[in-house]
Structure formats: C-alpha cells, structure tokens
C-alpha cells in the first residue's frame, strides 16, 4: 500500500524494452502480459515470453518497481490449461500480482497460489461496493481496477465502503462497460473477452470514395473523412453513425482522458493507484507519458499545482475529456 | 451421458426479460397473453436495463407472476445488468428479500445477497465462457446458465456437457436482437440531445430499440437506453437440432413487439420435431417481414452473419 494520498503510478509495458523505459521513467508498478490470448492486448509483436518476464521482474525489482501480470481474458471453453499455465508461470517467475477477470481463474489462483496477490481487472466490471465485496470475500482480491463508466462521486462512495485498493484508468476511453462488450465480435468475429482484441487491425479496410477516405471494420463503415484529413482508427464504438435523425459519434467522441486535471479529485476520492493505458504504444510515448505522470503525481503529493500541458499533448485525440469522471458525460 | 439421451429429454423454452421500455398497460397485456397462450416453460420478469424504468410497472409484477404461475409457467425475477447507484444496489437486495421466487443474476453484485444455498439462474450478461467458471457457479447454487450470446458452437458444446455433468441446465440465446454492450451512458438520451438524468424516457418511443445505421446507410446496431443490441434478430431455428445434440437443454426467446406467442409456437414445434428448421425459419420470416436474421456467432465468423445451420469457415 502506498502512502496515504500519494497515488501509485501503474504503467503499461507491451515489450521488455518498454518495461525498462517505464521503470526508468518513474513507474511504481508496471503491468504486462504473456504473448498469447491470455491477456486483453493480444496484438502482434507485443507481450512477454516466460524468459522475458523473468528478466523483466529482476530488472523492476532491482529498481524498486513491481510487475503485475494481466491474465485478463476469459478462458476459452476446453482450453483452460493455457490460462492456468499463465497463472502458474506468473507465480513461478516472481510476479508481484496477477490481474484477473474470470471467476474460474480467480478461484484457481486463490486455490493454487494463495500467496500470489490477486487484482481484479477492469474486464470484471465490478462497478459498485457490493460487487467488489463479492470478489474480496470469495477470492481474496486485494485491488480492483474500477470501470471507467464511474463518476468521481461514485468512486469516492465505493472507497468509503470497501477495504480494497482501487485503481482508475487513464487512456483511450472505453465507453462501454469493459468485459461486457461484444460489439467487436458482432462485426469481426473477434472480441476482447474471447480473443483479447477489439476492432482488430486484420479486419480494417480503408478505401477512397468520392473524395473521402472510408474506414471499414469487417463489412461495416465506421467512419468517413475528407481524404486529406487524418483518418482515425476505426474502433467500433468511436465511429460515426446515424440514429433517430442524429448523425455523428453516436457512442463516443474520439477523445482521450485528461486525468491529470482530475488527479486531485481522484486522489481525494480515495483511490490507491493511477493506471496508464497503452501497452501497444511506442517506447518514446511510454517514456513521455510516464515521466509526465510522475511529475504530476509528485507535484500533487507535495501540494504543488499539477503541470497539465504535457499530458494533454500526449493524448490520442485532438481534445481531451474528463470522461465519465464528470457526470455530464453521460 | 450420450448425445442421444440429451435429445430425448425435451428441451425447454425460456422467455427472457423484456429489454425495452414499454408502457405499463402494454407490459401487462403482453404477459397476460404469454401466460394464457405461449408454449414457454419459464418467464423472466423484471428490469435488467435501466433502474429508472422499473417504477412505471413494478405494481403490475405481482399480478403477472400470479397469472403466469397459474398457467403452469415457472417465473424468474431478473436482476439489473449494470449496478452502480445506491438505488440500484437496493433493487438487488430487495429482489432477494422479495420472497422465494427464483432469481436470474445478470451481474455478480447480487450474489453478495444470495446466500444459504438458495438456487438461482444465470443470465446471458454474466461472463460464463468456460467450464471453470460454470463449475464455480454450479457449486454456488446455479440451476440454469444462459451462455453469453457471442460464444461459438464448439464452446457451447463444451459448456453444455460441463453443465450436464454439474447438474445445471444450459441455455442459449435463440431469438431476438442480441445484447452486445452496456454502458453508463444512455444513447437514447444522447441522440435526442438530452442528459441521462433528464432523459424524458425517450427510449419508450422505440419498442424494439432504435436502429443505428452506418454512414453508408447499412443497418448495423440498435440502441436501447444504456444498452446496444444487434440490428439483426438472432434466430437459431435452423440450428436447434445440432444444439440439442450438443447438449443444450433450454432456448431463450427475447421479447419483441412481434407476435411472441407465434414465435414461441414455432420454436416449440421445431424443438419437438413437428416442423423442420427450414420451414420454421420461413414461417418466422413471414411473422417478421421487416427483420433481418443472423446466427453468425454460432459459427464463429461474426455475429451479424447468417447461415442456415451449415458449418462455415472461421474468418481470419
């Protein structure tokens, strides 16, 4: 547990090199996954072999940082062995915690590796104090990553009721409750829950049409932009559609979260840690974003104003949003 | 247990909870007719989507329960799918305290209140993707598990067999727009330029959900308040034989504005072997002339696809 009021900075590592960069830039903890379908960022060229994880754990521990292993997809029926082996390997290689979402996996980890810290993934969608209590009581969960649909007031209310660390997430905003979304498999056959992928690149097509660049996911048009403008990646829920006379971003605008501006409120709401998204991002992005957050967290802990500009520059979209952390977002 | 034994046990039909915001009178009339005429074995009642809707018809629920039970149908009370507010947590606690009617959990929140070996059923919005999770829920008291609609046939088969071993009924989503996502945001309010807290219940205008089209005018999705559904109606009428052979014991029909009694009769006849899959599918299309049907999750290609019981290739 970190000092009261000082947020733990949990940073992404898609590769061993990114892990070292994040640790060197000031991450308190780094999260990563194995190179298979057991984690929710199962992208080509990303993630860790057992040997890489072992080396990375050693590197992080020497520098005083922790390594959290995300095994946060839902195991495929008939293939539990792959996921069980991932948990066994994380325990064997000295991971500081595993991040899990599936009930059966939580039960397996609690039973076989009681000494291995269990964190609840955002994919488990524990969105209120009763749900969190359920996971704490049944599986000894020590920390829960809160769904991004919650407001600051809701986060504060949860923290007032439970004896469990909580984490909030900075990154590309998932507007749907994570772990409960099959939009991607409806369009492509591949989903976050089953395959660790959303709006997978292999199903993305771009074509020029009438002076516009059309981006499609599977057979569905997700967006159209003038051809000299940068085309956003066609993540399904961030696309442009029409419904009931409304035409535009029906589900969500393509913005990312400016959590730095909200950092004092979130710390005040009693959260333990701030998790940065981006296991698929470059080392230079990781270096900049981790260093920026390090400065922001340290500044806040010392009672100084938070430098927000650098974080805004790093965000994915043209503008940033306070996301669900402000009630009007809904 | 062999596949043959499963087939001869007689599959059951569950009418899932109404997902949409219908006026109280329409709600009452619907369940009265279901009680009197629909060949379904179980009926799930209650609000799973938006806690703000429940006050409009909560008074009607006791009468519906009584009428359905009198007609020999098992009644199940469904819990809310996304629980964030104190009021919603109380709804969960109240549901458990309400009596001895079986509860369908649609979020794990309610398990905190369900103790003492009380049996429950598991709705399709709970993530049961594998036999480890299924076994855990079975030990905890699950009597029936409706599997997530995005599961492919191979997973359904594995889970149906695991369910049989655990003494649990296995159910799949067999008719209706497929629930794909749930959010803290209300899309009905958003597309009408309203805030969720002052939504004016505009979702009540779209009795089967509001269609979402792509910018190329392709029919794509449907929104229902905080929920996103498929535009297509899932229909597994042509797949019932192989699903029964795989060990699935129950089939879920999700209420829509169409003639649900007629839909239930088609499924009953198809399950009993009185109507073959192709004829039943044709009859369903005649009942819902404007609907587009899909069964793509089953074959693992993509959910929006439609085939007719043919094993299809798996897309990249």
Task: Please check whether residue B165 touches A, CB under 8 A.
Answer: no
**Averaged pLDDT, A84-109:** 98
Whole domain around residue A241: which residue ranges?
182-249
Write the pLDDT tens digit of every residue in A278-291: 888 889 989 998 99
Confidence (pLDDT) at A256: 56
Confidence (pLDDT) at A52: 98
Note whether A24 and A159 are same-domain residues: yes
In a domain, A1, yes or no: no
Note whether A70 and A212 are same-domain residues: no
Asked if the Cβ–Cβ distance from A149 to B184 is below 8 Å, we say: yes
Confidence (pLDDT) at A32: 96
Question: CA neighbours within 13 Å on the CB side: how many for A34?
Answer: 23
Ligand-binding site membership of A198 (annotated): yes
Question: Strand ranges (DSSP E) for chain B?
Answer: 12-15, 42-45, 74-78, 102-105, 120-122, 142-146, 169-183, 210-214, 219-224, 227-235, 250-253, 293-294
pLDDT at A320 over 80: no
Q: What CA–CA distance (Å, rounded) separates A184 from A248?
A: 19
Cβ proximity of A100 and A119 under 8 Å: yes
Task: Please check whether residue B287 touches A, CB under 8 A.
Answer: no
**A246 neighbourhood in chain B, CB within 8 Å:** 190-193
Note whether A191 and A57 are same-domain residues: no
Note whether A70 and A146 are same-domain residues: yes
Note whether A22 and A95 are same-domain residues: yes
| Final residue belonging to a domain, choices A229, A249, A269 | A249
Adjacent-strand bridge partners of A276 = A170
A–B CB contacts, 8 A cutoff, strictly below:
237
In a domain, A3, yes or no: no
Write the pLDDT tens digit of every residue in A142-173: 999 998 878 888 899 999 999 899 998 876 66
pLDDT at A4 over 90: no
Least confident of A197-211, A245-259, A308-322, B105-119: A308-322
Note whether A141 and A264 are same-domain residues: yes
In a domain, A278, yes or no: yes
Beta pairing class for A246-248 and A241-243: antiparallel
Note whether A70 and A148 are same-domain residues: yes
In a domain, A85, yes or no: yes
What does the buried/exposed string (b/e) look like for B94-126 if buried means 16 or more CB atoms within 10 Å of the residue's CB?
A: ebbeeeeebbbbbbbbbbbbbeeeeebbbbbbb
| Helix (H), strand (E) at residue B36 | helix B24-37
Determine the length of chain A: 330
Cβ proximity of B149 and B175 under 8 Å: no
Output phi, psi for B181, to 5 deg.
Answer: -160, 155
| Final residue belonging to a domain, choices A230, A249, A268 | A249
Confidence (pLDDT) at B229: 98
Cβ proximity of A58 and A88 under 8 Å: no
Asked if the Cβ–Cβ distance from A193 to B127 is below 8 Å, we say: yes
Confidence (pLDDT) at A189: 92
**Averaged pLDDT, A11-25:** 96
Note whether A135 and A221 are same-domain residues: no
Output phi, psi for A75, to 5 deg.
Answer: -55, 145
Confidence (pLDDT) at A323: 47
In a domain, A330, yes or no: no
In a domain, A56, yes or no: yes
Beta pairing class for A29-32 and A66-71: parallel
**A191 neighbourhood in chain B, CB within 8 Å:** 150
Q: What CA–CA distance (Å, rounded) separates B164 from A73?
A: 25
A207, two tokens? 């074509």
In a domain, A206, yes or no: yes
Q: How many domains does chain A have?
A: 2
| Helix (H), strand (E) at residue A98 | strand A97-100
Cβ proximity of B170 and B164 under 8 Å: yes
Q: What CA–CA distance (Å, rounded) separates A120 from A98?
A: 8
Note whether A59 and A158 are same-domain residues: yes
pLDDT at A39 over 90: no
The residues near B28 (Cβ < 8 Å, ≥ 6 apart) are B57, B60, B63, B64
Place of tokens 């992080």: A60
ipTM here: 0.91
Asked if the Cβ–Cβ distance from A243 to B191 is below 8 Å, we say: yes
pLDDT at A102 over 90: yes
Confidence (pLDDT) at A310: 62
Note whether A97 and A128 are same-domain residues: yes
pLDDT at A14 over 70: yes
Confidence of residue A308 (pLDDT cuts 50, 70, 90): low
Q: What CA–CA distance (Å, rounded) separates B122 from B173?
A: 13
**Averaged pLDDT, A85-114:** 98
Ligand-binding site membership of A302 (annotated): no
The residues near B279 (Cβ < 8 Å, ≥ 6 apart) are none
**In this predicted model, which residue has the larger pLDDT, A34 or A5?**
A34
DSSP letter for B17, please: P
| Helix (H), strand (E) at residue A273 | strand A273-276
In a domain, A14, yes or no: yes
Note whether A30 and A97 are same-domain residues: yes
Task: Please check whether residue B170 touches A, CB under 8 A.
Answer: no
Q: Which residues of chain B register pLDDT less than 70?
A: 1-9, 308-316
**In this predicted model, which residue has the larger pLDDT, A197 or B37?**
B37
Mutate to test the interface with B, among A189, A208, A327 (most CBs of B within 10 A): A189
| Final residue belonging to a domain, choices A196, A228, A249 | A249
Note whether A234 and A91 are same-domain residues: no
CATH of the domain at A304: 3.20.20.70
């Amino acid at each position: 547990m970190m000092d009261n009021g000082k947020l733990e900075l949990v940073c992404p590592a898609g590769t061993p090199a990114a892990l070292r960069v994040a640790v060197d830039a000031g991450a308190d903890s780094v999260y990563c996954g194995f190179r298979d379908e057991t984690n929710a960022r199962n992208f080509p060229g990303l993630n860790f072999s057992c040997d890489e994880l072992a080396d990375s754990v050693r590197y992080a521990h020497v520098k005083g940082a922790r390594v959290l292993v995300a095994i946060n997809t839902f195991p495929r029926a008939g293939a539990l062995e792959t996921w069980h082996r991932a948990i066994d390997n994380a325990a064997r290689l000295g991971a500081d915690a595993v991040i899990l979402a599936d009930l059966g996996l939580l039960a397996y980890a609690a039973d076989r590796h009681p000494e291995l810290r269990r964190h609840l993934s955002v994919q488990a969608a524990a969105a209120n104090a009763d749900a969190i209590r359920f996971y704490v009581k049944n599986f000894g969960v020590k920390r829960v990553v809160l769904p991004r649909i919650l407001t600051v007031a809701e986060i504060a209310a949860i923290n007032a009721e439970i004896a469990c660390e909580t984490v909030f997430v900075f990154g590309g905003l998932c507007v749907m409750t994570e772990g409960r979304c099959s939009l991607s498999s409806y369009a492509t056959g591949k989903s976050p829950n089953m395959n660790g992928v959303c709006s997978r690149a292999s199903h993305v097509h771009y074509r020029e049409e009438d002076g516009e660049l059309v981006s499609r996911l599977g057979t569905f048009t997700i967006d159209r932009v003038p051809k000299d403008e940068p085309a956003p990646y066609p993540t399904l829920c961030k696309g442009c559609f029409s419904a009931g006379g409304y035409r535009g971003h029906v589900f969500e605008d393509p913005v990312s979260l400016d959590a730095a501006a909200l950092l004092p409120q979130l710390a005040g709401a009693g959260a333990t840690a701030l998790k940065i998204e981006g296991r698929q991002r470059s080392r230079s992005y990781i270096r900049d974003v981790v260093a920026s957050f390090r400065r922001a967290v340290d500044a806040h802990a010392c009672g100084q104003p938070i430098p927000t500009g650098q974080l805004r520059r790093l965000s994915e979209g043209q503008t940033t949003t306070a996301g669900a952390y402000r009630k009007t977002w809904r | 247990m062999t596949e043959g034994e499963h087939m001869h046990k007689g599959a059951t039909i569950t009418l899932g909870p109404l997902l949409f915001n219908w006026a109280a009178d329409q709600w009452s009339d619907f369940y009265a007719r279901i009680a009197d005429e629909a060949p379904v074995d179980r009926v799930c009642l209650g609000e799973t989507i938006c806690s703000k809707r429940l006050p409009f018809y909560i008074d009607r629920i006791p009468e519906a329960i009584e009428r359905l039970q009198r007609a020999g149908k098992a009644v199940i009370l469904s819990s809310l799918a996304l629980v964030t507010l104190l009021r919603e947590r109380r709804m969960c606690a109240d549901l458990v305290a309400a009596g001895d009617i079986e509860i369908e959990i649609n979020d794990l929140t309610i398990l905190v209140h369900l103790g003492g070996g009380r049996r429950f059923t598991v709705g399709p919005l709970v993530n049961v993707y594998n036999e480890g999770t299924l076994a855990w829920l079975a030990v905890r008291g699950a009597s029936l598990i409706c599997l997530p609609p995005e599961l492919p046939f191979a997973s359904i088969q594995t889970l149906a067999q695991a369910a049989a071993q655990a003494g649990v009924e296995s159910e799949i989503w067999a008719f209706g727009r497929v629930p794909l996502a749930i959010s803290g945001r209300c899309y009905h309010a958003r597309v009408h330029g309203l805030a969720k807290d002052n939504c004016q219940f505009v979702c009540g205008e779209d009795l089967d959900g509001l269609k979402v089209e792509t910018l190329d005018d392709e029919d794509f999705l449907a929104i229902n308040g905080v929920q996103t559904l498929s535009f297509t109606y899932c229909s597994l009428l042509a797949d019932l034989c192989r699903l029964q052979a795989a060990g699935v014991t129950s089939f879920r029909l999700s209420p829509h504005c169409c003639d649900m009694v007629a839909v239930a009769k088609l499924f009953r006849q198809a399950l009993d072997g009185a109507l073959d899959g192709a004829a039943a599918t044709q009859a369903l299309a005649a009942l819902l002339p404007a609907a587009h049907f899909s069964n793509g999750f089953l074959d693992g290609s993509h959910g929006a696809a439609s085939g007719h019981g043919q094993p299809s290739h798996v897309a990249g």
